Structures are given as C-alpha cells and as structure tokens.
Amino acid sequence: MTGATDNTSTISVAGYLLKRLKSLGVDHVFGVPGDFILPFFEIMADSDIMHVASCNELNAGYAADGYARIKGLAAAAVTYGPGSFSIVNAVAGAYAEDVPLVVISGGPATSAYQSQAILHHLLPNKYAASLRIFEQVTAYTTLLDKAEHATTEIDKALSTCLAKKKPVFLEIPTDIQLSLVEPPQPLDMNDYIDHDKHAATQAARRIADRINQSKRTVLLPGHEIHRWGLQDKVIEFVQKTNITFGSVLIGKADYMERLPLCVGAYQGAGSQPVVREFVEDADTVVFLGMIPSDFNLGGFTDELTDSQVIHVWNNQVKIDDAVFDNVSIADVIDELLTSVEENRATDSDPPVQGFLHKPDQAYEPEPEALMTSKRFYDRIANFLRPGDIVLGDAGCAVSLAHLQLPENSTCISSCYWASIGMGFGAALGACFAADEGQRIIALEGDGSFQMTAQELSNMQRYGKSPVIFVVNNAGYTAERLIHDGPFNDIPAWKYHKLPEAFGGGLGIDVHTEGDLEAAIKQVEEYAGTGPILIEVHMDPYDASEAFRLMSEVLRSH
C-alpha cells in the first residue's frame, strides 16, 4: 500500500510524496530510520520505491548525490535532529555543485511543535534549528505542519528542486506523514520556471558576434552542462562550428573527451604546456556553465584576462561590460547553434587531446617495478571501458581530471565543495543508478576512503560489485604536500581484507606493476557478487604533477 485507506480517493502525505518521487524517476530512497520518520519508512516499505540503507546519514546524503548526478533527481530520508544534522555536509556539497536532492526529515507530532515539549533529539526551545540550518544549503526549506497545505508545499519543493538543480528540505511531523490528502495529479512546473527568453537571445547573439569575429575561440564547459542535460547540444555545437574545447576539473567533459576537437585537460599552470598556451592565447574563452574556482583554474594560476573570457551560467551571462540575468543556459546554447557560423574555427593545428594519461598510449608493465602514481593512472586509462561510471575522491579526483575517458563514460567527483569521503559514498548511489551491466569504478585515496568505508557492507548486502582502487600512501598526501607533519598520518588499515570483514567480495593487495596486472585479470574474471577492492601501495610523497601544483598553490594561501 502507499498509505491509502479503503477510500481510494485519499492517500497519506508520505504516500503522496513517494508517488511524486516515483513519477519523477526516483526508484530508491537512501537513508536511516529513526522514530520521527518511521511512519514514512513504513509506508515506503509497501510502495514501489526501494529503501536503500546506509550506515549513517552523511553517507546517505553522499549516496543520494551520486544517484542524482546520474538519474537527475534523488531523495534521502532521516529522522529529526541527529539524523538531519548528520546529513548537512552532504547537502551543502549538493547545493554547491547544483545537484537536485530531496531531503525528507521526520519531526515530532505537531502538538510538540506548539508546546515546545522537551523531547529526545530536540534542542531545548529551538525546534526550528534544522529549518534554519537547511535554509543556508537548500533552494527551499519548509515545515509541513498543516495537512491541508502539505501537497502544495511538496509540489513547490519538488518543482524548485528540479528547476534550480539544488537540494530542498522537507520536515514532516509524524502525524502529518499519515494525514490523508488527495492523490497527486500531473506536476506542473511552469510556475517555477521564469527565464527571460529575450535576454537569452540577446546574450547569445552578442556571444555569437564575438565568436564570429575571433580568430580562436576555446570552450571550457563545466558542471552545469551535466546538470541540465546539455551534453548532446554542446557536442552538436562544437561539431557544427569546429570550435575547440578543453576539459576542466569540476564538470569534466567526460561525454566528449575523445572528440578530435578536445585540446585536453585545462587547469591553469596544471595543464600540459601546449594546452595552456593554446587556451590562454585564444581571442575568446567561453566558460560554459563552468565555475571559475581555484581548482578549475589551477589555484588561479591561469593567465586569462577579463577581456578574453565570456561567462555563461544558468541564470546569468557576462560578456565584456554587459550582464544578462534570468537566462536559461539551455536557451543560450540553442540560440548559439543558429547564430555562430558553421566551421567558424580557423586553427589549422590545435593541440589534440593533451591529457597526461591516455588510453591509446602504449603501456607495457614492468612486473617487478613498484607502483607509482603516474604508472597507475596510465594503466587505469587502459583499463576503463566505454560506458563506465568512474568516481574519484580527493587527490584521485585531481589525477582523474588529467585522464582521458573513453566514450559514453561518466565521471563523478566533488571538487568544488571538496569533502573527502564523498566519492565512495556516491559510489553506493551510483550502484543503484547504473544501467544493468554498467561498471562502477571508484578511485579512492586511503584517507578519503576511511571516511565512508563502511558502505562496503551495503554494497555486499545489496549484491553490488563495484571495482574500488584504494591508493594506500599512508595518509593525507595532499595535506603532506601543503604542510607536512604527523597530523597527516592515519591508521594503517589492511584495506584488501575489508571485503571479507564486511561480509563478502574480493580483496587484492598490489605493490608492483605485475601485481596490478594480476589484479586486473581477477577483475575481468570475477563472477561473484560484492565489491572488488584493490589496495594499491605507493610512496607517501608520490603524486602527479597536477596534484603537486595544486598543493603548491594551496600552500601559498
């Protein structure tokens, strides 16, 4: 059942919300039960949405984030107080990186809100604490304390979540979760989408004029292209215009790095010199849905000028001295497709696919050689297949940015909010969002992995078989390169033993290039269920060139 009674014209508020989520493509809700959210969980148990347990609420938020980046929307459910406070960090990351995530928190009965009863999980005289906190990290936060308004508030929250690609927070008292309401009708989001098409047209035509007059234009597409599902439009645009593009750290152009028009990975001084020179010598550089952050620009080591750069974001375009607000990035790209001249680019010899690690580079293992960062990522570039979902955490994400991905692959990392542990939590969500037969590959530093490692148990519990590479360099290498000291040491785990300890799977210990080849062979032959964890030992100070550059820049701050 979904909270309905014999009177089929009514449904519980919890059932209404679950039906809404299901209609929007959400098949799983991540979360941890608690007494104030138990009515919702009981109704969900009889619905056609599956509850996916996580070991704690923070991990549930990370898992939902990873799920949403693939499916377009996700939900997590927690109890009031310790549950809602625990998930805040994950929600903040989703807010920073424009991930549509619905957070559902239970609350005590509405009578308790009125009397301010001193209950467990509650801060005395501060019943609104969760609401005030979540107002800072969501696009919409509300308490559903009146059944007659609950469905309207749910629809507003979901519409805002999808329209803005930001998290929303619903706090629902226990009695309201069970209150009966009318069943949902088709959702109309028009009231929440109010873009100025005329402004978008004007902005795009001004950009087109600039591009049509430039000898060299380079696009740097970012994470907003993924969030608004514009990958095919961007591919169409570059192929029509013959304009080159680079791939950046936050919003890696996983969908088109193999195209000949890709100049390679751009990250300011962290780029290959030929790529950096090509990008920074352009007349026009278009930041297309890209955050001009320190990580994207190599710690602000880029030498791009304000006169070169055009900023295109959802809701705003900046070009020269003009600013166009309330514009849709999708509308801007549609107009550019008709306004920019075909085969506009005139560069006869642009750098082609300048990545540090490429799948078409020859790789011959030296069986007795100890593993190094460079050789590891060279091998991973040859290990990945088209269609893989690849997740990177912390330093691994920086190295992954400089690895050319195969066709139709998906890259997930959190390098703007940059909360370590997110990548492995997101890997749990990706396991449920992936298509059948699609591989999940997680690249984890040992420090980041220790934050969320317990989700190995749920991968085994639900029969998921991601391939997890844990780079064991005995601590926080990123921090060592910024400011070394014993505070960067972490406990020495035997990571490859963890699948067995957590209930099943395959664990492999790797020290040499020969060991890695043997491990990859075992991966290819693996027919079991449960995670495959490959522990890769490296020197504590071994890091890629890009990784070292980022550390040097951060050390100077």
Residue pointed to by tokens 């508020």 = 13
Question: Per residue in 306-328, pLDDT tens?
Answer: 999 999 999 999 999 999 999 99
Please give the pLDDT value at position 7: 45
> What tokens appear for 487 in the block?
């505070």
- For the segment 132-174, what is each residue's pLDDT rounded down to a tens digit? 999 999 999 999 999 999 999 999 999 999 999 999 999 999 9
Consecutive H or E run containing 310: strand 309-313
**Residues 413, 464 contacting (CB under 8 angstroms):** no
Residue 34 burial (CB count, 10 A):
20
Residue 5 confidence (pLDDT) above 50: no
User: Tell me: the pLDDT tens digits for 80-93?
Assistant: 999 999 999 999 99
Q: How far is CA 439 from CA 16, 119, 223, 396, 433, in A?
A: 34, 46, 22, 18, 11
The pLDDT, as a whole number, for residue 546 is: 65
pLDDT in tens, 414-461: 999 989 999 999 999 999 999 999 999 999 999 999 999 999 999 999
Residue 19 to residues 2, 7, 27, 41, 487, Cα–Cα distance (Å)? 8, 17, 10, 14, 48
Query: What percentage of the chain has pLDDT greater than the value 90?
Result: 82
Mean pLDDT, rounded, of the chain: 92
pLDDT at 556: 62
Strands (E), 116-251: 140-143, 168-173, 180-181, 217-221, 244-247
Q: Give Cβ neighbours of residue 152 (< 8 Å, ≥ 6 apart).
A: none
Domain boundaries, the chain: 11-192, 197-339, 373-556
- Give phi and psi for 357, each to the nearest 5: -130, 120
Lowest mean pLDDT across 36-40, 147-151, 294-298: 294-298
Closest CA to 102 of 27, 197, 168, 42: 168
**pLDDT, position 360:** 87
Single out the residue of 152, 37, 161 nearest to residue 101, CA to CA. Answer: 161
More confident residue, 5 or 69: 69
**What does CATH list as the number for 373-556?**
3.40.50.970
Residues in the chain: 557
**Residue-wise pLDDT tens digits, 503-519:** 999 999 999 999 999 99
Residue 30's DSSP bridge partners are: 52, 76
Mean pLDDT of 255-273: 93
Q: Strand pairing of 28-31 and 74-78? A: parallel
Tell the CATH topology of 197-339: Rossmann fold (3.40.50)
CATH number of 11-192: 3.40.50.970
Q: DSSP letter string over 453-482?
A: GGGHHHHHHTT---EEEEEE-SS-HHHHHH
Rg (CA), the chain: 24
Torsion angles phi and psi, residue 309, rounded to 5: -90, 135
| Same topology between domain 11-192 and domain 373-556 | yes
Which pLDDT score, from 0 to 100, does residue 125 have? 85
- Interval 106-111 mean pLDDT: 96
Q: Is 186 exposed, middle or buried (0-12, 13-18, 19+ CB in 10 A)?
A: exposed
